[in-house]
Amino acid sequence: MPERTRVTLDRDEALDRLRRRGGRVTQARRAIIDALAEAGGHLTADELVRALEQRDALVHRATIYRTLDALERVGIIEHVHIGHSPATYHLAGSSHFHLLCEHCGTVTEIPEDVFAPAIARIETQWGFRARLSHFAIVGTCAACSAREHH
């Protein structure tokens, strides 16, 4: 099994990046960053609403949606479509892709360089600049594959 590479920011890195890019660290922004960092990422907007309610963070639902958009515009968070679910959000970091196991639902983050040759070929051969990070690549994880073979 390959070594797991950290591809997302941690809480303090996200707050530092926000400040460096001229963003204010408001109560709502801090609460969302904290919730995503604690969860390890991949929360839908509705899951974030529930997580903030559980933390007694007084952030209105509409503010959460506006804050998600604002944080994504300045590169603090990213969203990805995993399967047929609503967009999920996670703290940004180095460019990476998501692998979704269609059997158990596990999401694995892998570094962008794994797919660099394929992306380069797509651009060279078809003149198309692929942005694969917006969607998950669906397949079967190692654990489920092992179970299928036993």
Q: Mind listing the pLDDT tens digit for each residue in 78-125?
A: 898 887 888 899 888 777 888 989 999 888 888 888 888 998 999 999
CATH of the domain at 101: 3.30.1490.190
Tell me: is residue 54 an annotated ligand-binding position: no
Does 8 count as an annotated binding residue?
A: no
- The CA-atom distances, in angstroms, between 88 and each of 16, 36, 61, 131 are 23, 10, 16, 17
- At 67-82, the pLDDT tens digits run 999 999 998 998 988 8
Residue 52 belongs to domain spanning: 11-91
The structure tokens 């001229």 sit at 22
**What's the structural domain count of the chain?**
2
- Tell me the longest C-alpha to C-alpha distance in the chain: 54
| pLDDT over threshold 70, residue 34 | yes
pLDDT reported for residue 96: 81
Q: Which residues of 101-129 are buried (b: 16+ CB within 10 A; e: fewer)?
A: beeeeebbbbeeeebeeebeeeeeeeeee
What amino acid occupies position 108? T
Do 23 and 55 lie in one domain? The reply is yes
- DSSP-assigned letter for residue 3: P
For residue 33, is it within any domain?
yes
Same domain, 70 and 108: no
Q: Are strands 77-80 and 96-101 parallel, antiparallel or unpaired?
A: unpaired
Summarize the chain as % helix, strand, coil (round to 5).
45, 20, 35
The reply to whether 144 sits in an annotated binding site is yes
Q: Residue 5 falls within a domain, yes or no? A: no
Q: Is 141 flagged in the annotation as binding?
A: yes
